[in-house]
Amino acid sequence: MNSYINYLEIRTKIILMQIIPIVLGGLFLYLIIHFVVRMPGYALAKKFKALGNMNGMQLNQLVSKVGKYSAIRNLPDGGKVCVWQATGYMISLVIDKDDKVLKIGSEVAAK
């Protein structure tokens, strides 16, 4: 009976020694992928945050500071909605017919 218990203890240690590195490696890989994939979104959000209050800012000023928008939708009144997006972050701005920012339409950031 004693030898069987010793066998089980040794077998358990061997299994744990095999599983723990796999689990830790998987966790490490997940964290790296999570960070790398969301980095463009973090960078874009940081650029917009640095601008502060954007109301009244010209569209060409925005584009020069944060880059070209990803999508645009024209509005019936001559204005438009411009969307900037990167993995983990999206912001849409309502722009008037004179190319000035009226307001933030929506903003979504992954945590």
User: Domain 2-109 belongs to what topology?
Assistant: Beta-lactamase Inhibitory Protein; Chain:B, domain 1 (3.30.1450)
The pTM of the whole model exceeds 0.85: no
Per-position DSSP letters for 4-48, written without gaps between them: HHHHHHHHHHHHHHHHHHHHHHHHHHHHHHHHHHHHHHHHHHHHH
Task: Give dist(CA 33, CA 15) in Å, integer.
Answer: 27
Could you report the per-residue pLDDT of 63-92, keeping only the tens digit for each? 999 999 999 999 999 999 999 999 999 999
pLDDT (tens digit, 9 = 90+) per residue, 14-64?
887 888 888 888 998 988 888 888 899 999 999 999 999 999 999 999 999
- Domains of the chain by residue range: 2-109
